[in-house]
Amino acid sequence: METGMTSQRADALRLEELPMASDRTAAFTIIRDAGPVAPIDHGGFAAASQETAEYVFRHPELFSSKRAWDAAGSPVPMVPIAFDPPEHTRFRRILQPFFSPRVVKLMLPTVQALAGQLIDNFIDRGECDLTGDFAVPLPAEVFLTLFGLPLADLDRLLEWKDTIINLFDLRGSAAPSEEVVKTAADMHGYLLRHLEERRRQDEGGDLLSQLLADTSEERLTTDELLGMSFLFVGAGLDTVTSSLSTQFAHLAVNAELRHQITRDPALIPDAVEEFLRVEPAVPVLPRVATQDTELGGCPIPAGAPIQVAVGAANRDPAEHPDPDSIDFRRQQRHLSFGAGPHRCLGSHLARMELRVAHQEWHRRIPEYELAPGTRPEVTWPAITAGIDSLPLVFPSGGAAR
């Protein structure tokens, strides 16, 4: 029944109330069953089929990323995600070379060594917290080294990141909370001070140093560097961690899936892609309609928040037979890194880190399970879906199958 406002429709989805924490399959089914385009509370819409989700991603002139990330509270627009073409094109042109397959390949030995060192820290204990002992430090150290931030600052960066991500308004209809604004301001101040210090040093081979040394007409301004840094801290310290936590949670309770990987490590790249399909680190991505338009036959008014339900779209039965099952030999594309001009800049790096994590772990710890009494749940509502703590147990010293 209508009550006079779209935001009050009785059939509107309430994303924050979905059972995402304990059962993503049920949550994505609820979204999917609401239709390819479904109303959400407070006047927005969810694009839930692969067709409608991909259409939104590929048409930034109709569905903008520019205004969609205001809830993150950044004092300056986040580069490049808070811009659309043609402005966005310049940022991608500058940043893409730092994340190319060639550059990522050069990082491979370092990531392999780091993964091995982390496993050495706990393998003889016969237990670990997969998230805290492995999934957090592996991508965090890679990112901080690549970007040029001190490893000693990781804890406070993680605290700021967690606050912003966990309090992000999924509906896209509210201003950021006071806590998010304060946290964002603190992180902005830290990044500004660090930027000024790096500018004075005028040395280093990391990404930030190279961008600061750029003297071309296209070089990033100070505000653009800050906006980029704000985004990269959130993405670099969270998305791979979230993916590893949910992937290992599946493997810890499903011996057959685990044994497929240990019997045939060459399957790992396909396993990573299938896990990304069923468990996207960012299950909902925001956009804003730039004009009155239509999506999947549904009228969309200008200014309406559009939530691209990546998790539901990745399990669209029209595109994926038996979409909720995990099949490492499926080899079907997904939208977990987006599509179109805003496709994830760090996708090559993320894939490499995930593959290395599985290769190094399963080579040395092929058998493991959840610690007794463990019930893994992702943090929800939040912009990313990850498990904060995942206690695992395994034979001390590892064991060969």
Identify the helix (H) or strand (E) that includes residue 91. helix 87-95
Q: Is the pLDDT of residue 315 over 80?
A: yes
Contact yes or no for 92/344 (Cβ under 8 A): no
Backbone angles phi, psi at 387, to 5 degrees: -100, 120
286 DSSP β-pair partners:
307
Residue appearing with tokens 């995600």: 81
DSSP, collapsed to helix, strand or coil, labels residue 371 as coil
Q: How far apart are CA 245 and CA 380, in angstroms?
A: 14
What are the structure tokens assigned to 152, written together?
A: 């000693």
Q: What is the mean pLDDT of residues 84-106?
A: 96
What is the CATH number assigned to the segment(s) 6-365? 1.10.630.10
pLDDT of residue 171: 67
CA dihedral 9→282→361→161, nearest 10 degrees, is -110
Q: Is the pLDDT of residue 149 over 80?
A: yes
Domain ranges in the chain are 6-365
Q: Is the pLDDT of residue 96 over 80?
A: yes
Contact yes or no for 371/255 (Cβ under 8 A): no
Q: Is the pLDDT of residue 104 over 80?
A: yes
Q: How far apart are CA 74 and CA 187, in angstroms?
A: 9
Q: What is the mean pLDDT of residues 34-49?
A: 94
What are the structure tokens assigned to 176, written together?
A: 């950021």
Q: What is the mean pLDDT of residues 204-233?
A: 92
